[in-house]
A and B are shown apart, each in its own frame.
Chain A
Amino acid sequence: MKKIIILLVYVFCAFWFACAPEPACLDETPEIKLSFFKEVYSDTDSATFINDTTIAFVEVAALGTDSIFVVQDTTFSLTLPLNAAASQVEYLFRTIDVFDMSGEINHTLQIEYLREQQLVSEDCGPVQLYSELELVSGTFDSVAIVNNTIDPDIDVNVEVYR
């Protein structure tokens, strides 16, 4: 009788652990969100920053590749992809100031990040998790990393000031 009980407990536990639920698939959104701000002066001559609606993007591309992400857009926020095959990317922004159409102004922004990859499950497949966003170099007046984690719930990763 004791041996039967042992066998039954074993069979129960074997099925219990074999039927453990599979983990939920993770979202993979390798994109960074940028917001552009322009410095303005109020009547009291104190500087404030507002969404930059005076910048027009002729093109935004990744240096060293043929990839172009934005063409002919006037916006103060951009979402740009990260490179799954590299740990850093350098973007080229070809811009025009809408109030000063004298010519293009080119800026570069180089960002590095940590990629971690995992096979979550056979059904979900591999995912890449991006984090630890860091600024390497940039030619804008000022750039700040405000959120260094790549997450679809985050509104902005990088704030650019000019």
Chain B
Amino acid sequence: MLLWSQTVLGQAVDTLVIDEPKEPISWRPQALRVGVDLSQIARQIIFDEFTSLYEVHADLGLHNYFLVVDYGHAESKRQKEDFDYTNNGNYLRLGLDVNFLKKDRNQTVVFFGIRYATSTFKDMLEFDRVDAFGNHQLLFQTNGSKANWFEVNMGLKVKIWKGLYLGYTARYKFGLQLKNQNGLIPLDIPGYGKFQIDDTDNFGFNYHLFWRFPLSKSMDSN
């Protein structure tokens, strides 16, 4: 708001600028968003090796930040004439996102975030091997292998209709720590993807469908 004043003597006009008072930052939760990963459902349909894949997501909006949790389950089976590999496990991601799109009236979110992820799984590999000692049928299995890693994420959540949102998350996964058992190196790590000994960084992409439940009547962007 500008105030114009004129001096009594009719000389130069003074201009006074008053800063708009800033709204106090509220850390009360504004909204809870829950969703499912549509890309996991699509992968289960498209790729034969996945017998069960699902992931659920929840985030709690606090000012321009989100507390995020993902939980997922993955089962895979790969089979050929001379081998049989199965993998079954769960994973959990916890993290924080920062919204770079402020005060959008549709609560669209463009975010950058970090995650800590952990996965627990069991797997089994059965295969035939012929060597100088004879023909062997070998079986190796684990029951509690664990993996932990970090992620940096970026993505978008867009309002489609009322409380319904669509969004995607691109992930860069790094810092993998794997505790496998019985000498069996996994092919799949639930939540992480395929494991390669010589390249432990990984990329991922998820496409989510959310519903947003407002918890506050404030006009904040979350």
The interface of chain A, by Cβ under 8 A from chain B, is 2-3, 6, 9-10, 13-14, 16-17, 20, 23, 26, 30, 62, 65, 67, 69, 81, 83-86, 114-122, 125-126, 128-129
Contacts and interface: CB of A to CB of B under 8 A. Distances in A.
B55 to A, nearest CB: 15
Interface in B10-26: none
A17 B203 contact: yes
A128 B168 CA distance: 38
B39 interface: yes
A12 to B, nearest CB: 10
Interface string B145-178: 0000000000010101000001110100000000
B188 to A, nearest CB: 9
Given A6-B166, A17-B205, A83-B133, A117 B196 contact: no
Given A10-B205, A65-B133, 10 more contacts: A3-B158, A14-B39, A23-B196, A81-B132, A84-B133, A116-B184, A116-B185, A117-B184, A120-B187, A126-B85
B100 interface: no
B131 A81 contact: yes
Contacts of A116: 183-185
B127 interface: yes
Contact of A114 (B156, B183, B197): B183
B192 interface: no
A16 to B, nearest CB: 8
B183 A119 contact: no
Nearest to B138: A85
A10 B168 contact: yes
Contacts of A16: 205
Contacts of A118: 125, 184-187, 197
A121 B78 CA distance: 9
Contacts of B167: 6
Interface in B190-210: 194, 196-199, 203-205, 207
Contacts, number: 95
Contacts of B134: 65, 67, 85
Interface of B: 39, 42, 49, 78, 80, 82-83, 85, 125, 127, 129, 131-134, 136, 138, 140, 156, 158, 160, 166-168, 170, 183-187, 194, 196-199, 203-205, 207
B131 A13 contact: no
Contacts of B205: 10, 13-14, 16-17
A121 B166 CA distance: 33
A10 B207 contact: yes
Highest count of chain B CB atoms <10 Å: which of A83, A114, A120, A126:
A126
Contacts of B166: 3, 6
A135 to B, nearest CB: 20
B168 A13 contact: yes
12 contacts: A13-B168, A23-B196, A30-B131, A62-B133, A81-B133, A117-B138, A117-B184, A119-B125, A119-B127, A122-B78, A125-B83, A129-B185
A6 to B, nearest CB: 6
Given A17-B204, A62-B133, A81-B132, A125 B80 contact: yes
A115 B205 CA distance: 34
B129 A3 contact: no
A119 B133 contact: no
B1 to A, nearest CB: 35
